[in-house]
Amino acid sequence: MSDHSFDLAALSAFYAGGGDPAAILREALRRARAQAADNVWIALREEADILADAAALAGRDRAGLPLYGVPFAVKDNIDAAGLPTTAGCPDFAFDPAEDSGAVAALRTAGAILIGKTNLDQFATGLVGVRSPYGACRNPFDPAYVSGGSSSGSAVAVSAGAVSFSLGTDTAGSGRVPAAFCNIVGWKGTRGLVSTRGVVPACRSLDCVTIFALNCADAAAVAAIAGQYDPADPFARPAPASLPGLPEPKALRLGVPRAEDLAFFGNPHTPALFEAAKQRCAEMGATLVEIDLTPFLAAARLLYDGPWVAERTAAIADFLARNPDSIHPVVLGIVEGGKRFSAVDSFNALYELRALARQAEAAWTKVDAILTPTAGTIHTIAAVEADPVRLNSQLGHYTNFMNLLDLSAVAVPAGFQPDGLPFGVTLFAPAFHDAALLHLGGQLHEAAGLKMGATGKPLPSAALPAPATDRIELAIFGAHMQGLPLNPALAGLGGRMSAVIETAACYRLHALESLSPPRPGLVRDEASGAAVAGELWTLPASAMGRFMQDIAAPLAIGKVELADGRWVPGFLCEAHAVAAARDITAHGGWRQWLDSTRA
């Protein structure tokens, strides 16, 4: 067990052969404890609590739990019930009442939390050294930075202690650590993964990110974590039809002009980036030089403009009461936000809009863009001696992406002669997430690299091309978000897009003979009412598989919504509700469940 890989393909094979989740989780905890000297973790769960979660999986259907028994970690600015949230500041710590939106979705899908990971305090930094819990050390050379601010999350995955982890990203925190740890870092479209329950850095820009050993694993986790969360005011539903990218032989791949590239004196990384470009060309992509000027100008706004004040706002009360509790470098940054006025903010927004319009011109010439993730890597000692300038260098290719509403994936691309990793980033406009992960998986495979610092080869199964055609599906019962059958829907690529009501011509009944209990929706023109539900989208290619598991007397038919649209949705054969309890007056299945628990 000590040599077992925790990538999802390996775990799936282990569990399919009758393997015990407790064995995997004990090993995950052992590996996490072994990382103490590298300052990876802030808090680990008690072994008894982890094993209790494993025991709760007994008898559960693995098909309905796409992350069955998968160990994961969470950056410690993301709430996970049962562990304090510190944001890298002990005096700031509090005990959250519930999981964040993303953690809740992952636990519902069967994933099991191991602990909370170290970070640059208040997610302010790209280095992983601005923490009272110690500088997080690079798994390839402990003298070097791991990248930040999601430092511990990246190292935990790279070293094989967990299968995946959650980080956050405002300026590159979900990508730079991936590059420095030889793993995949997915920074999804802003708002795609819920930020409810996240201590904000810049709340309007923050993204919850995923670190994984390969793109297939990142895509599988993203399908679960990226469920629309109507309780998050910054959440955005994915469109019913997702944009795709051409296969490499037809791909127009943008690459920066020579004058836009910066490697900050590193003698090895320019050749590694050229090699990555060459691999893309060998895969069939047409390389097109593009002008990064508007992208880089937008990047400068992040720390030279009033978005710094958003960092100040995020911790304003704590800053006023406890300035001595804040790391000196972080304090200097957040204090600096006080110099900006409301006029400065509006002027910067206008400038960003102008730069975004200029940047749009690139997408008429290319389908996606390839850059280094970071031009160089620094030692911990060098960063501590020159913390602001060297940190700034690491954001050269990352700081603009959230401001310009782009999706991105960072993938491994090679090693320097001294054994330190180098990575590249693929990015495209919003909602190209699945397509970028597919392309990133091909590029990762072409590089011929092992996974993280584990020494394990990439799984042989390639990540299939994402389905860009999606079907809307109205659901009214146990498949809704947070309910027992939801993981099966999310595991097939389902995404929630809206909270809905039917037209006022339906009745809802409790079918308590089904396991788990479900509602039956029937149309009743004479005495019907509006019934609450959720609208999801599902890849067209997955619809047949989903329908195979629908239990009679339920079926998929056309349901009329309150806005007059007719969409596919769950209905019930009329004969089955004759003896069932009518629960229409409760307004919906979730409301009925709440009433039974009262």
- Are 489 and 390 in a shared domain? no
CATH code: domain of residue 98: 3.90.1300.10
Tell me the β-bridge partners of 556: 570
- Are 291 and 244 in a shared domain? yes
- Are 514 and 457 in a shared domain? no
Cα–Cα distance, 57 to 35 (Å, whole number):
27
b/e map 142-155, b = 16+ CB within 10 Å = eebbbbbbbbbbbb
- Into how many domains does the chain fold? 2
Range of the domain at 532: 470-597
Single pTM value for the model: 0.90
b/e map 85-100, b = 16+ CB within 10 Å = bbbbbeebeeebeebb
- Are 456 and 492 in a shared domain? no
The dihedral region occupied by 445, where left means phi > 0, alpha psi between -120 and 50, and beta the remainder, is: alpha
- Are 35 and 120 in a shared domain? yes
pLDDT of 494: 87
> Which residues does 86 contact at the CB level (< 8 Å), separation at least 6?
42, 43, 76, 92, 93, 116
Three-class secondary structure of residue 296 per DSSP: helix
Q: Say if strands 470-475 and 532-539 run parallel, antiparallel, or are unpaired.
A: antiparallel
- Are 181 and 65 in a shared domain? yes
- Are 453 and 574 in a shared domain? no
CATH code: domain of residue 581: 3.10.490.10
Instruction: Using alpha carbons, list the distances in angstroms from residue 362 to 256, 349, 445.
Output: 11, 21, 27
Residue 133's nearest CA partner among 147, 113, 110, 116 is: 116
- Are 462 and 474 in a shared domain? no
Sign of the C-alpha dihedral computed for residues 494, 498, 503 and 505 taken in this order: positive
Length of the chain: 598
- Are 370 and 432 in a shared domain? yes
- Are 71 and 132 in a shared domain? yes
pLDDT in tens, the chain (598 residues): 789 999 999 999 999 999 999 999 999 999 999 999 999 999 999 999 999 999 999 888 888 899 999 999 999 999 999 999 999 999 999 999 999 999 999 999 999 999 999 999 999 999 999 999 999 999 999 999 999 999 999 999 999 999 999 999 999 999 999 999 999 999 999 999 999 999 999 999 999 999 999 999 999 999 999 999 999 999 999 888 889 999 999 999 999 999 999 999 999 999 999 999 999 999 999 999 999 999 999 999 999 889 999 999 999 999 999 999 999 999 999 999 999 999 999 999 999 999 999 999 999 999 999 999 999 999 999 999 999 999 999 999 999 999 999 999 999 999 999 999 999 999 999 999 999 999 999 999 999 999 999 999 999 866 777 877 889 999 999 999 989 999 889 888 888 888 999 999 999 999 999 999 999 999 999 999 999 999 998 888 889 989 988 999 999 999 999 999 999 999 999 999 999 999 999 999 999 999 998 7
Last residue of a domain, one of 429, 449, 466: 466
- Are 185 and 134 in a shared domain? yes
The residue written with tokens 């990762």 in the block is 444
Give me the active site residues, please. Answer: 75, 149, 173
Would you say 145 and 124 are in contact if contact means Cβ atoms under 8 Å apart? no
* Amino acid found at 59: G
Would you say 121 and 87 are in contact if contact means Cβ atoms under 8 Å apart? yes
- Are 132 and 147 in a shared domain? yes
Last residue of a domain, one of 466, 492, 526: 466
Last residue of a domain, one of 466, 494, 522: 466
